[in-house]
Amino acid sequence: MQLTSKEFKSEFILEVQACLLLAVPLVITQILEAGVPLLDGVMMGLLNSQALAAGALAAVTFSTLASVCRSILSVVGSSVANAFGAGKIDQVSRATSQGIWLAVAMSLPAMFVIWHFPLQC
């Protein structure tokens, strides 16, 4: 079945509309997420410079820990996709459960570091 130029354009427009319908909430969420640290900085800056410095240090520490954990766990998705593409369903469940155990194993030390981070008030 061959698509005519007019049918292709209408299919394309429908696909673009569907894509935008999914993308707009994600874009709004990303913009709002980027605004939270800005608002935090403004509010801490209104308190004093020590609060701003402490907040910046806490934000950098937290984002570094979160980035390291997220980067390590991103391998699980690749392993699961690879096993699923190869039709090895038993490896999909094994990789998923190992990913969950890895997340638990990494979150416990991360929680310990965050919980015992010295507070300077």
- DSSP letter for each residue of 38-87: HHHHHHHHHH-HHHHHHHHHHHHHHHHHHHHHHHHHHHHHHHHHHHHHTT
pLDDT at 13 over 80: yes
Mean pLDDT for the stretch of residues 51-60: 85
pLDDT of residue 68: 87
> Is a pLDDT exceeding 80 seen at residue 111?
yes
With beta carbons less than 8 A apart as the criterion, state whether 41 and 52 touch. Answer: yes
Mean pLDDT in residue range 77-90: 92
- Choose among 38, 34, 31: nearest CA to 55: 38
Q: pLDDT grade, residue 63 (50/70/90)?
A: confident
| Between residues 117 and 101, the one the model is more confident about | 101
**pTM above threshold 0.85:** no
CB-CB contact of 114 with 65 (8 Å):
yes
Give the 3-state secondary structure of residue 84.
helix
